[in-house]
Amino acid sequence: MERVGEIQEDAAIEIEALRRRVAELESLETEQRRAEEQLLITDRLASIGELASGLAHELNNPLTGVIGFAQLLLGRDLPDEIREDIKIIYSEAKRAADVMKNLLIFARKHSPVKQLVDINSVIEKVLVLRAYEHRVENIQVVTRLAPDLPLTMADYFQLQQVFLNIIINAEHFMLEAHQRGALTITTRCIGNSIIASFTDDGPGIASEDLVHLFDPFFTTKEVGEGTGLGLSICHGIITEHNGLLYAESKPGKGATFVVELPVLADNK
């Protein structure tokens, strides 16, 4: 009986070791899959970025002409109905010009101005900008910001743009789902990476949409509510900073956007 007990104990130890090995392999497989997906997204965005840059430059010239001539016409004595039509032409041309500007940002033709940045500070400033909307729209924000977070080398305003875009997207889908929201923002440092996570309690993201989330012009919003450029621009910014931007979600269980940036890395 004592021998049987020893065999059972040895078998239990081996089974536990196998379980740990399987868990390690699954973790490595997940990390490899994530790295491959990130590489595919980066390659795809780089190709589209070149096309977007050329397109933006070509369209900017005629748009500038339309805007300029519309301004000249608005300065003249015109019948009210014609003036209103020209105002619409001017407004729509300006909107198109803004899309072109975003395309140029997406194509990363503007070099970031990098400095030592405290990620917690950037997030706090963005939350101040959205404080009124959170109050009136009944969105509760919980922050768990690591007090000893190291600095990173980054463009402050570009990171502000990334975090602002992620938060506004979360607001939109939470309000669309249940007219309120709960947003949890966490920062921490693991190894040589600073990690900022934004978790909402919205409807979540369908698995088929996750793989296209950072594609230019891809959006799950209604027509007229977004250009589909925001997240692709954010991805370009974070890639330019040698970081990672990805999303994790299950339909009906909210979404988490994760930004990973290197500690004190000069990415010039």
Superfamily of domain 115-262: Histidine kinase-like ATPase, C-terminal domain (3.30.565.10)
* DSSP H or E stretch at residue 207: helix 207-210
Three-class DSSP category at 175: helix
- CATH architecture of the domain with residue range 1-110: Up-down Bundle (1.20)
Residue (of 114, 129, 110, 198) closest to 159 by Cα position: 114
User: Given this model, what pLDDT does residue 268 score?
Assistant: 42
Q: Locate tokens 């996570």: which residue?
A: 197
For residues 98 and 95, give the distance between their C-alpha atoms in angstroms, rounded to a whole number. 5
Supply angle C-alpha 204, 158, 33, rounded to 5: 45
CB burial string 53-64: b at 16+ within 10 A, e below: beebeeebeebe
pTM greater than the 0.75 cutoff: no
Strands (E), the chain: 115-117, 139-145, 152-154, 181-190, 193-200, 244-249, 255-262
For residues 263 and 117, give the distance between their C-alpha atoms in angstroms, rounded to a whole number. 10
Cα distances (angstroms) measured from residue 154 to each of 12, 21, 221: 50, 38, 30
User: Given this model, what pLDDT does residue 227 score?
Assistant: 46
Three-class DSSP category at 149: coil
For residues 72 and 95, give the distance between their C-alpha atoms in angstroms, rounded to a whole number. 18
For residues 221 and 199, give the distance between their C-alpha atoms in angstroms, rounded to a whole number. 19
Look up residue 150 and give its DSSP letter.
P
User: Given this model, what pLDDT does residue 60 score?
Assistant: 79
Residue (of 259, 255, 262) closest to 245 by Cα position: 259
- What is the torsional sign of CA 119, 121, 126, 131? positive
For residues 250 and 134, give the distance between their C-alpha atoms in angstroms, rounded to a whole number. 24
8 A C-beta contact, residue 86 and residue 74: yes
Sequence letter at residue 41: I
Q: What is the dihedral of CA 196, 201, 203, 207, to 10 degrees?
A: 40
User: Given this model, what pLDDT does residue 207 score?
Assistant: 77
Spell out the per-residue pLDDT of the chain, length 268, in tens. Answer: 555 555 556 666 767 767 777 776 666 666 666 655 555 555 555 556 666 667 777 777 888 888 888 888 888 888 888 889 888 998 888 878 877 776 665 555 455 688 999 999 999 989 988 888 899 999 999 999 999 999 999 998 889 889 988 999 899 889 988 889 999 999 999 999 999 999 999 988 877 777 777 776 556 555 444 445 678 888 888 988 999 999 998 888 899 999 999 997 444 4
Cα distances (angstroms) measured from residue 37 to each of 44, 218, 240: 11, 17, 17
Domain boundaries, the chain: 1-110, 115-262
